[in-house]
Structure 1
Amino acid sequence: MRQSYLFTSESVSEGHPDKVSDQISDAIVDLFLSKDPEARVACETLTTTQLVVLAGEIRCKGVYENGEWAPGALEEIERTVRNVVKDIGYEQDGFHWETLTFENHLHGQSAHIAQGVDASGNKDEGAGDQGIMFGYAADDTPDLMPATLDFSHKILQQMAADRHSGKAPFLEPDAKSQVTLRYEGSVPVACTAVVVSTQHAPGYDQGEKEQELHDYVKSVIADVIPAELLSDETVYHINPTGSFEIGGPDGDAGLTGRKIIVDTYGGASPHGGGAFSGKDPTKVDRSAAYISRYLAKNIVAAGLAQRCTIQLAYAIGVSKPLSLYVDTHGTGTVGDDRLEEAINSIGKLGGLTPRGIRTHLGLNKPIYRTSAAYGHFGRKAEGDFFPWERTDLVDDLKAALG
């Protein structure tokens, strides 16, 4: 491990066009799971100037069956989409929740996919797709996340909270952040640079109003990043292009699944390539990434490592994972092979099959929209941890290791 280095992670706000798309897609997942816990959803969203388009495959009792929409279902989907945009705060000429054009191109799930995924006879439910998924945890922060990403998320979360409360009325929904830290060994010792670009009301790109915006952003940064990491040598780039009035889907098209590094570990861990949002939990892109984070977090929380990366691999239609790989990056107190054996021996994990994962974590619930902004890991939602953030496997791991 290098002893001295710089590392950077970025985040984007709930009003970033890609995140608008992610939140809409996950709101559709939640809508369908609230009607049918066994719903199948693969919903993609496109957002651009005054337009939202849905596309993808679905199956949901009471909503879409035998190729037909239930009465009122289409209206409820459109209402859900508009409410997401409204909650984010878009009431602009170029993107307004009430006046935007909405198109719904969702259709029935392929029968060929269904036959591979569904349980039947002696066949257990299979993975919804092939792929590799990674989970990661590190002792940088109390939530066992990379500090660079944790700080980037929290800066934008605070700005969004101030925008919604009216404390910072000059802010508009679209924003990005980026934090660079200097590490000595595995410990962050200094913040060398912070970048924040935020959409703003007219006039906040010059004179006293620009200074007000800059002072506000610096105060948020000071609230989020520990004082001992900031110094006179910290470089701040606040709206470095100058003006940022046109933003969100009006400034740039948004698509579901384009912010997968923001969603996960800010580049501190490998990524298998699959996005989360818009997918029901039979899709291992989502559920296996969640259980991988859960396993890595519990290993670090148990004091078995300072850093841990988990990889799982699946084949479409096959229930059991093809491989489980543990890497503690030389920080483990036991061998990585022993950790693999311990995980495989814990019965409550259900053999890490898609059904076992969903059962253990309780994933067949409408819990996903909140995850679609500010990261899927290392935080709480609606007053409680996401189930994959629990550390209730610590004792099981220790027992399995003897």
Structure 2
Amino acid sequence: MTTHYVTSESVTEGHPDKLCDQISDAILDACLAQDPRSHVAVETMASKNTVMIAGEITTKARIDAEAIAREVMREIGYTSQEAGIDADRCLVLTNLNVQSADIAMGVNRSADGMEVIGGGDQGIMYGYAVRETAHLMPKTIELAHGLVRRLAEVRKDGTVPGLYPDGKAQVTMSYAEDGTPVSVESVVVSAQHEEGVNPQNLREALIRKVILPVIPEAELLPPEKIFINPTGRFVIGGPMGDTGLTGRKIMVDTYGGIGKHGGGAFSGKDPSKVDRSAAYMARYAAKNIVAAGLAERCEVAIAYVIGQIRPEAVTVETFGTEHLDRRIIENIVTEVFDFSVAGMIRKLDLRRPQYRKTAAYGHFGRSEEFGWEKTDLAEVLRRKALGELYGGFLRKGVQK
């Protein structure tokens, strides 16, 4: 029996906001490649024929931010004004400065010859996992990501001719009372296209070449529940049609609106910024909890104070799906996982250049070898949980 509906959306790498995320993260990667201890906080804006890059960078690296931005645009497919912006002819402005000394004094420290890192900001970060897909992600966002990935593929390989880089997808599913997904209720795909493309031909091609390879059950949907370019036309797109900003697609980046978000964006930030590193660590913990079989659904929350080495609080929420007392799970998690800023960076290998590929199609549920997607601590959690249960039985026996 259906009790509620869940909707998630994703966007292509050519969406104006995602273009900006990728430029910011490409600059971060370039800094980390030369200086792994770079401090980076870069924001990008793209509008009409102009890209503006601003922020704070403290690094030994020598980079050309303008050249990086143009290369990102070229790789996405923005090589003409008709497409949305021309990588070689647009105006690129930069305003990059060093990190504030007031922040740096709380971040950069050492003790007894060991690196000690204070959080680069205050706030609360969330991680989420659920047993709906093999990647332990909500099914709606995984399907939405799959649609826009496929949309980019058919554009680039020419399977569907006449497409430009900008695009979106949205999936609505019905859920049963126990929280399990039941069926796809509607699908939306918006694909930027060249002038003169026949709308009906495009609709048929996108259903056949994009939607059905990702969501076979969409074949069962009535035509009125499959929306292709709902306004009837999507020629003007990219930064020509909509201003892009770094960090404006935080629900696309995370769990499609299902889990909480602390508010801080990810792209353009080095791992000393807990907005990013703690969100990755929270996902890592939540995913291992579910993979270990301790709960079917889990959300981990971590709160930090700027300049503080360890979090103020770590909270585990299992929404009534836990298989042992939630407080026991919480105690085990704080014992197994090192939530200090330096500990997160070491464990998840966050100082290597890897971030541009996170800046489109979500930061979580990816098949790439991101440290926060591994389930290498699931067995450790499982053994500790069994130990707690066995110890509890022994203690009860002694009391009797």
Q: Same fold (TM over 0.5)?
A: yes
The yes-or-no answer on 1:79 pairing with 2:72 is no
Conserved in 1, the CA contact under 8 Å of 2:212 and 2:218?
Answer: no
Identical aligned pairs, as a percentage?
A: 48
Conserved in 2, the CA contact under 8 Å of 1:10 and 1:266?
Answer: yes
Residue 369 of structure 2: aligned partner:
385
The whole-number CA distance in structure 2 between the counterparts of 1:228 and 1:109 is 49
Residue 99 of structure 2: aligned partner:
109
How far the C-alpha of 1:92 sits from its partner, in A, is 2.1
Q: Deviations over 1:347-390 (max 9, x none)?
A: xx3x311100010010101000000001000012xxx3311110
- Structure 1: unaligned runs, 5 residues or longer: 64-72
How far the C-alpha of 1:79 sits from its partner, in A, is 1.4
| 2:5 alignment partner, SS class | strand
Residue 261 of structure 1: aligned partner:
251
Equivalent residue letter for 1:393 = L
Distance 1:332 1:234, change over 3 A: farther
Equivalent residue letter for 1:89 = G
For 1:174-193, list aligned pairs within 5 A: 174-184=166-176, 185-193=178-186
Residue 162 of structure 2: aligned partner:
170
Number of aligned residue pairs: give it: 380
The whole-number CA distance in structure 2 between the counterparts of 1:3 and 1:132 is 33
- Structure 2: unaligned runs, 5 residues or longer: 388-400
Residue 214 of structure 1: aligned partner:
203
Cα RMSD between the aligned structures? 1.6
The yes-or-no answer on 1:298 pairing with 2:288 is yes
Identify which of 106, 110, 124 aligns with 1:120.
Answer: 110
Query: 4+ residue stretches of structure 1 with deviation over 4 A?
Result: none
Conserved in 2, the CA contact under 8 Å of 1:11 and 1:152?
Answer: yes
Query: Please, which moves more after superposition, 337-346 or 272-281?
Result: 337-346
The whole-number CA distance in structure 1 between the counterparts of 2:223 and 2:375 is 38
Q: Deviations over 1:23-54 (max 9, x none)?
A: 00000010000010000000000101111111
The whole-number CA distance in structure 2 between the counterparts of 1:83 and 1:335 is 51
Residue 367 of structure 1: aligned partner:
354
Residue 246 of structure 1: aligned partner:
236
Q: Deviations over 1:124-179 (max 9, x none)?
A: 31000001000001111111111111111100101101111121221110001110
Residue 80 of structure 2: aligned partner:
92
For 1:2-401, list aligned pairs within 5 A: 4-63=3-62, 73=63, 76-93=64-81, 94-121=84-111, 124-184=116-176, 185-204=178-197, 209-219=198-208, 220-227=210-217, 230-232=220-222, 235-346=225-336, 349=337, 351-380=338-367, 384-401=368-385
Conserved in 1, the CA contact under 8 Å of 2:184 and 2:217?
Answer: no
| 2:120 alignment partner, SS class | coil
The whole-number CA distance in structure 1 between the counterparts of 2:78 and 2:220 is 34
Conserved in 1, the CA contact under 8 Å of 2:160 and 2:206?
Answer: no
| 1:317 alignment partner, SS class | coil
How far the C-alpha of 1:121 sits from its partner, in A, is 4.1
Q: Deviations over 1:284-327 (max 9, x none)?
A: 00000001001111111111111101100000000110001101
TM-score (norm. length: structure 1): 0.92
TM-score (norm. length: structure 2): 0.92
| 2:109 alignment partner, SS class | coil
The whole-number CA distance in structure 2 between the counterparts of 1:229 and 1:181 is 15
| 1:385 alignment partner, SS class | coil
